Amino acid sequence: MKTTMYDRLLQLPLFQGLCKTDFTNILEKVKLHFHKYDKGTYLTRQGETCSQLIFILNGQVVTEAENESHLYILNETLESPNVIEPYSLFGMHTYYTASYKAASDVDALLIDKRYILTQLTNYEIFNLNYLNMISNRAQTAHSKLWNGNARNIQEKIVNFILSRCNTPTGVKTLSIRMEDLAYLIDEARINVSRTLNEWQEDGLIRLNRKKIIIHDLASLVRAAEPTALK
């Protein structure tokens, strides 16, 4: 394997900090599957069993998460290098919470769960990276829950979107009917419509038919803060 490939693999979230000697030992014991996904094809779908780790080496992936009542779909953009739902590999519900589709040609690395349990967990750095990743997700979810009190309709809409996002960066697209969004945040439809149109006029979002497209979630969060707190 070329040095450039080593370097690329060592940039992956769960392998960061491993020395090349340890990674060479891993390659001798763990069966790695490299796969190329053409643009528009799915890496995995929501509800499928998570029995492996999928690392995105190159390319861009779009997530598609649909709620159980089919009222809305949230799309997010993931950049490489990245790993798909490491938190879904263990626990009571080991299935993917979203679908993942290649937004460009994607190079991916797949590692089966049994190799993770029998080989990769022998390395302290891997275990630490895994624990940190899962702990960070749990802490972020806890923070969203305890800091999600909305003081106005702007914050209600932002909290609704933010609490369902996996990452604070990248393009977000919420596919939802205006009346459904109003119902879910307990607001009048006309107030929701007015707020969204004001945001569009300010360049914070773009509205398409039943879609809210957010190019910079951080800017939208700042815009929803009360004036006194800005």
> Which tens digit of pLDDT belongs to each residue from 61-117?
999 999 999 999 999 999 999 999 999 999 999 999 999 999 999 999 999 999 999
How confident is the model over 52-69, as a mean pLDDT? 95
Nearest-Å Rg of the Cα atoms of the chain is 20
CA 202 vs CA 53, 153, 218: distances in Å: 40, 17, 14
pTM above 0.85, yes or no: yes
Average pLDDT, the chain: 90
Q: Say how far apart CA 143 and CA 82 lie, in whole Å.
A: 23
Residue 212's pLDDT is 97
* Residue 3 clears pLDDT 80, i.e. is over it: no
Residue 8's pLDDT is 78
- List residues bridging with 112 in a β-sheet: 52
SS3 210: coil
Residue 109's pLDDT is 93
